[in-house]
Structure 1
Amino acid sequence: MKILVAEDDFASRNFLHLFLRKYGEVDVAVNGAEALNVFKAALKERDPYHYVFMDIMMPEMNGLDAAREIRNIEREFNVIPAEESVIIMATALSDVKTVFEAFNKSEVTDYITKPITVENLTAKLKEIGLIENE
C-alpha cells in the first residue's frame, strides 16, 4: 500500500505520516505542486499511490487544484477509474461551497475536517476500507 500525504502544516503532516505508516509506505509533500511532482513520478515508475491525503489550503498550489491535476495525470497515463487513487481532502474548511467544489470539480473521493484526531481519522479509514472494522 502506497500513501501520499500533502500538507503544509508540520504538525498535521507529521501526525498523518506517523499514523498512516502502520498501513503502508508513506511519502510526504509540503504543497500541492510538490505533491503533483511526486505523484507523477510514481506513475512513471509504475508504482502509483493508492491513497492521497491532501490539505486544501496550501502554498504554491492548493489541494483542490492539485486534486484536479492528479485526475488529469491519471487520465494522461490511462489509469482506469477502478484503479484511480483515493483522494481524501483534509481541511479546516467545511462550508458547502468548498465541499461541493472538492467533490464535483476536483473529483476527490472523500473529505475529513480538521482538527484531525486519531478517532476521526480511524473512522474515515474504516469508512473508505483502508482498515477493517473490528
Structure 2
Amino acid sequence: MAKVLVVDDAAFMRMMLKDILTKAGHEVVGEAANGVEAVEKYKELKPDVVTMDITMPEMNGIDAIKEIKKFDPNATVIVCSAMGQQAMVIEAIQAGAKDFIVKPFQAARVIEAIQKVLK
C-alpha cells in the first residue's frame, strides 16, 4: 500500500485517480491543483508516490518535479500526460519522474505504474 499525493489542475482527474488508487488499496494522503501546491504538500505529507500532471497553472509539473527532487532526491513521481505530449514526458523523466501514465486513465495501467515504481 502506498501513500499517494495526486496532483492535477482538473478536479475531475484527481477524483478519477483517487478512485482508482483507493479501490486498489492505496491511500491518497493529499491533493494539489498546481505545481506550487504540489511542492508544499510533498514537504508536508512526504508521500510514497506523487502522480503529477504536466500542464498546470502557476508552476507546471516539470518544474514541480525539479523542486521536489531538490527537497528529496529519492522522491518517486509518476507523470500524467495527455496524448501527444511525448516531448514533455521525456523532459519530465529527465527531471526525475520514474514513469508516466497517459490520460484518459486506465485503472490497470495506473496500478501497474504505482507497483513498478515502488519496487
Under a length normalisation based on structure 1, what TM-score does the superposition of the two structures give?
Answer: 0.76
Percent identity among equivalent residues?
32
Structure 2 residue 88 is the aligned partner of structure 1 residue 87: no
Shift, 1:35, TM fit: 0.8
Q: Which runs of 5+ in 2 are unaligned?
A: none
Alignment check: 8 A CA contact 2:51 2:77 kept: yes
Aligned match of 2:89:
99
Root-mean-square deviation (CA), in Å?
A: 1.9
Alignment check: 8 A CA contact 1:17 1:28 kept: no
Aligned mates of 1:40, 1:123 — CA distance in 2 = 25
Which is further off, 61-70 or 21-30?
21-30
Alignment check: 8 A CA contact 2:6 2:50 kept: yes
Under a length normalisation based on structure 2, what TM-score does the superposition of the two structures give?
Answer: 0.85
| 3-state SS in 1 of match to 2:100 | strand
Alignment check: 8 A CA contact 1:20 1:26 kept: no
Shift, 1:118, TM fit: 1.6
Aligned match of 2:40:
37
Aligned match of 1:60:
58
| 3-state SS in 1 of match to 2:77 | strand
Aligned match of 2:16:
15
Q: 1:112 aligns with which of 84, 91, 101?
A: 101
Aligned letter for 1:119?
Answer: A
Number of aligned residue pairs: 116
Shift, 1:38, TM fit: 1.0
Which is greater in Rg? Answer: 1
Alignment check: 8 A CA contact 1:17 1:26 kept: no
Shift, 1:25, TM fit: 4.0
Shift, 1:124, TM fit: 2.3
Q: Which runs of 5+ in 1 are unaligned?
A: 43-47, 76-83
Alignment check: 8 A CA contact 2:52 2:79 kept: yes
Aligned mates of 1:101, 1:127 — CA distance in 2 = 20
Shift, 1:93, TM fit: 4.7
